[in-house]
Amino acid sequence: MCDDEIHQGQLHDPRLAAPGLSRRGFGLAAAAVAGYATSAAAQAAAAVAEQDVTVTTPDGACDAVLYTPPGKGPWPGVLIWTDIAGLRPAFRDMGRRLASSGYVVLVPNPFYRSAKAPVVDASFNFNDPEQRKRLFSYRAAMTPDGIDRDATAYIAFLDAQPSVSKRKRIGVQGYCMGGALTIQTGALSPRIGAGGSFHGGTLVSKTPASPHLMIAKLHGRYLVCEAENDDKSDPTAKDTVKAAFEAAHVPVKLEVYPAQHGWCVPGSAVYNAEQAERAWGELLAMYRGALA
């Protein structure tokens, strides 16, 4: 389970280079890339309400985006943790798509302490040591205690929305660095009823803050989808994670996908549409059962 949240050359989202393209255009473009742009799906995504919001945390003001399905609701809430490239068009598209399936979705800028989103653009070069150092400094500013404060604020923000059901539990999902943050968030409150980690980075470490040590505090159901190259670099990590779930009696579906680290995020150079759609289908199936 990979320590490097973006491999060299992996970050490649050409839509970042098109600032004149509307957000609806971004959504429709992503639909085509992700392979779900049937007319019905595209219409559902286009009907989703998008709102740039500010979430007040104990550490400051976090810029974020909130997606709400059309209709009366209320719906379950879902928090999305991004990968290390942060809140950008690809994750706006993913938030919109999830909302079109009947969820109120919050996608925060995890690096709000350091910069407004997006923190990368089309000129970003991961092979440039200075640019890479800047990006990882943003991640370093997110201490474990700070992440706990952030996650608590994000959950409270979702719960404060009239469109979010108070009778249905909240979901959380994360990608790359967000996979570990998904486990950390779920350990904070029984309000979280389901979580999904996709090519999650460093779910097992030797530190006291290792995510696998937090699994005992989880509730609900979980989905852990790992990349084959992450598994190859640390083949025992998945067994440690699975054993922790079994010991906690928390249901989990854990699988190594035949795809590379980062495969779920459109715009990644290793994006794998077939396996990304498969993972998305597993996520929705879990949410339908756990957040009902």
pLDDT of residue 35: 53
Tell me which residue has tokens 């350990």.
Answer: 187
Q: What is the pLDDT of residue 253?
A: 98
pLDDT confidence tier of residue 38, bands split at 50, 70 and 90: low
**d(C-alpha 216, C-alpha 250), whole Å:** 8
Digit-coded pLDDT (tens) for 75-108: 999 999 999 999 999 999 999 999 999 999 999 9
Question: Which domains can be identified in the chain, with CATH numbers?
Answer: 14-290 (3.40.50.1820)
Q: With CA atoms as reference, report the closest residue to 112 among 159, 55, 158, 156.
A: 55
User: Would you give the DSSP letter of residue 213?
Assistant: G
DSSP string, 104-115: EEEEE-TTTTT-
**pLDDT tens string 254-277:** 999 999 999 999 988 899 999 999
Average of per-residue pLDDT values in the chain: 89
Q: What is the DSSP letter of 217?
A: G
Looking at residue 17, what is its pLDDT?
Answer: 36
User: pLDDT band for position 45 (50/70/90)?
Assistant: confident
Q: What is the pLDDT of residues 111-143, one digit of tens each?
A: 999 999 999 988 888 889 999 999 999 999 999
Over residues 195-223, mean pLDDT: 96
Over residues 4-13, the mean pLDDT reads 44
| pLDDT score, position 122 | 83
Lowest mean pLDDT among 184-188, 204-208, 240-244: 204-208
Which pLDDT score, from 0 to 100, does residue 268 have? 87
Give the percent of the chain with pLDDT over 70.
Answer: 87
Handedness of CA 201, 203, 206, 208 (dihedral sign): positive
Give the list of residues 6+ apart from residue 41 with CB closer than 8 angstroms, or none.
Answer: 31, 100
Q: Which of 106-115, 117-126, 153-162, 276-285 has the lowest mean pLDDT?
A: 117-126
**Cα separation, 256 vs 229, whole angstroms:** 9
Taking 90 as the threshold, does the pLDDT of residue 37 lie above it?
no
Residue 46 pLDDT exceeds 70: yes
Residue 32 has pLDDT above 50, yes or no: no
pTM given for the model:
0.89
User: Which pLDDT belongs to residue 44?
Assistant: 78
- Which residues, in sequence order, are bridge partners of residue 201? none
Tokens, residue 81: 């943790």
**What stretches of the chain show up as alpha helix (H) in DSSP?**
23-34, 39-46, 89-99, 129-140, 144-159, 177-186, 228-233, 237-248, 273-290
- Whether 191 shows a pLDDT value over 80: the answer reads yes
Query: Which stretch of 35-44, 110-119, 147-156, 207-216 has the lowest confidence by average pLDDT?
Result: 35-44
Let me know: does 264 contact 255? Beta carbons within 8 Å: no
Cβ contact 63:112 at 8 Å: yes
SS3 for 25-44 is HHHHHHHHHHCCCCHHHHHH
Distance CA 120, CA 138 (A): 12
Least confidently predicted of 26-40, 217-231, 232-246: 26-40
Residue carrying the six token digits 């971004």: 26
Distance CA 25, CA 118 (A): 17
Residue 256 neighbours by CB under 8 Å, 6+ apart: 226, 227, 228, 231, 238
